[in-house]
Amino acid sequence: MTAVLELRGLTKRFGSLVAVDAVDLAIEGGARHALIGPNGAGKTTLFDIVGGRQRPTSGTILLEGRDVTGLREEQRARLGVAKTFQHSNLFDGLTAHDNVAMAVQRQQGVAASPWRSAARQRAVNRRAEELLARLGLGDRLGATAGVLSHGERRQLEVAVALATEPRLLLLDEPVAGMSPAESAEFVAMVRALPPELTVLIIEHDMDVVFHLATRISVLHAGRLLEEGPPAAVRASAAVQEAYLGATEDEALFIARPARPSARADGA
């Protein structure tokens, strides 16, 4: 299968600090690929480079074989890269429906004008309603984003991202601050996304990672330490050693034997 995203020798330096160090990585189409590592491993920097918020010092980024290393964030978005953020990026005064409808309008090139045709506006509304239903917010169409629960806001952010019809979806710590029940719902939601959509996720919740990911890459001190299916990553002595300085919960989760319920598809 062709790689949707390929990184070749990707490096980012901040003065004498090497935050990302010659990373080579290929992510196949349809993967649910997690990027994990102890604090300070370089995950967020790598994620920002992939999304276009930062430029690499050296190396190459290929999107479906096209070199996008020099493209800006908005240019990559037009090529099919969408993302959610650690901190909410919604219009709190607008309804859930209107947040998604605005993204649909941008994608379809429908101007927000009173002179647009009623038929085109109905098509926008149908698409927004379809996305909200898919993401479990079908009964929250008229609720303003500002009154949604934390978990619902995360769902809405994904609906907005999907409205752009991406090929690659970047999820930056999507379950941070969620309750266990909300996290479980989010995992189920991501699993139900279209199989052709490729998802790259940074997440500190190891339970979520090992339930969701089909493949995992582990960064340590800016370098790619391990990459493979969840069971192999979990069994790696190098990964367990890297997590010795991590939080107790992360270290214990990596070290303990995998439970059948915690194994992702393909693990």
Confidence check: pLDDT of 258 > 60: no
- Per DSSP bridges, beta strands 215-220 and 198-202 are unpaired
* Structure confidence by residue, pLDDT tens digits, 49-80: 999 999 999 999 999 999 999 999 999 999 99
Answer yes or no: is pLDDT of 163 > 60: yes
Please check whether residue 55 is in contact with residue 213, taking contact to mean a CB–CB distance below 8 angstroms. no
Compute the distance between CA of residue 46 and CA of residue 132 in angstroms, rounded to an integer. 30
Cα separation, 1 vs 141, in Å, equals 38
Cα–Cα distance between 250 and 266 in angstroms, integer? 22
Measured CA to CA, the distance from residue 168 to residue 29 in angstroms comes to 9
The token pair at 22 is 């010659």
Q: What is the mean pLDDT of residues 24-37?
A: 96
The proportion of the chain whose per-residue pLDDT surpasses 70, expressed as a percent, equals: 86
First to last CA, the chain: 18
Mean pLDDT, residues 98-125 taken together: 79
What is residue 71's predicted lDDT score, i.e. its pLDDT? Answer: 96
Tokens of 212: 């969701």
Q: What pLDDT does residue 256 have?
A: 61
For the chain, how many residues are written? 267
As a whole number, mean pLDDT of residues 115-144 equals 88
Q: Are 10 and 56 in contact (CB under 8 A)?
A: yes
Instruction: Please name which of 119, 148, 118 lies closest in space to residue 132, comparing C-alpha atoms.
Output: 148
The 3-state DSSP composition of the chain as helix, strand, coil percent (nearest 5) reads 40, 25, 35
Q: Judge whether residue 260 has pLDDT over 50.
A: no
Average pLDDT over residues 95-110: 88
In the prediction, which pLDDT does 243 show?
A: 76
Q: Give CA–CA dist 173/40, Å, rounded.
A: 15
Per-residue confidence (pLDDT) for residue 157, from 0 to 100: 94
Q: What is the mean pLDDT of the chain?
A: 88
Q: Which pLDDT score is estimated for 113?
A: 54
Please compute the mean of the pLDDT values over residues 178-196 and round it to a whole number: 91
pLDDT at 245: 55
Give the closest residue to 135 by CA, choosing from 118, 119, 116, 157.
157
Distance CA 70, CA 256 (A): 42
Can you give the pLDDT at residue 204?
87
Q: Does residue 5 contact residue 28 with C-beta atoms inside 8 Å? A: no
Q: What is the pLDDT of residue 244?
A: 58
Token pair 């969408």 in the structure block, residue:
82
Helix axes 96-108, 118-134, angle to 10 degrees: 120
pLDDT at 74: 92
Please tell me which residue, 242 or 261, carries the higher pLDDT value: 242
Rounded to whole angstroms, the Cα distance separating 184 from 92 reads: 25
pLDDT at 266 over 50: no
